[in-house]
Amino acid sequence: MKDEIALNMMAVQQRIMETCTRCGRDSNAVRMIAVTKTVSAEIVRGAIQAGAVLFGENYIQEAREKCGVLAEYQVSWHFIGHLQTNKAKYAVKLFDLIHTVDSLRLATELDREARKIGKVQKILIQVNIGKEASKSGIDAESAEMLIRSLAALPNLSVRGLMVIPPFFDEPERVRPHFRGLRELRDSLNKSGIAGVSLDELSMGMTGDFEAAIEEGATMVRIGTAIFGERQ
């Protein structure tokens, strides 16, 4: 199992490098986040021993348990799930980067909890590029206003944007969402929000990360290709 995960990680890293070469990007500019929802702490330990340094979790309770068991390791945990305001307190303690901030209410709570522990919490803004009614994320048109409001919160630092596109079998159908996120990021950077530089684009999963890299992803979130199908 451990060897298999090590091989899977190498294969994903290889595909990241090949994609970067193909589209003329520096492969150091794309980081692989190993997505560990439903994966046991012991398997995550194996991934750490095989060299993974960046992990993504979707659920606070699950992450608290795993981070506790694996506290001895110098690895970085990111939150990529839907965050409820009443869990902000735990989130700021556990995560180096929270990818899924989509409201002023949640951001204000994160700022408050981060201040209590003397931290500047790095966050991404989750954008609903496809405007699906059921998805979380803020509309592209409202992102600028939200980011301008957040710039005033001293214990938050907005680093970029994140998208979870609708599910399609073919990566080419997802590509417009990736492109839309990059274009939004570029236009926000151009309009210049004081104190904010949006460098990160968190986009791309097992089925479509190559298209995401071609469109500018700086972080790809990979679960299945590393740990196998989830139950």
Q: Which residue has its beta carbon closest to ligand PLP?
A: 223
Cβ proximity to ligand PLP: between 39 and 50 the closer is 39
- H-helix or E-strand spanning residue 17: helix 2-23
- H-helix or E-strand spanning residue 126: strand 121-126
Beta bridge partners of 75: none
Minimum distance, C-beta of residue 55 to ligand PLP, in the bound complex (Å):
12
Interface residues with ligand PLP (CB under 6 A) are: 35, 37, 58, 80, 164, 205-207, 221-225
Helix (H/G/I), strand (E/B), else coil: 55: strand
Cβ proximity to ligand PLP: between 12 and 67 the closer is 12
Minimum distance, C-beta of residue 224 to ligand PLP, in the bound complex (Å):
3
Q: Which residue in 146, 214, 138 sits closest to 178, CA to CA?
A: 214
Cβ proximity to ligand PLP: between 38 and 149 the closer is 38
**Measured distance CA(147)–CA(144) in Å, rounded:** 5
**Beta strand pairing call for 156-162 and 121-126:** parallel
Cβ proximity to ligand PLP: between 176 and 207 the closer is 207
Minimum distance, C-beta of residue 2 to ligand PLP, in the bound complex (Å):
19
Minimum distance, C-beta of residue 116 to ligand PLP, in the bound complex (Å):
27
Beta bridge partners of 33: 221
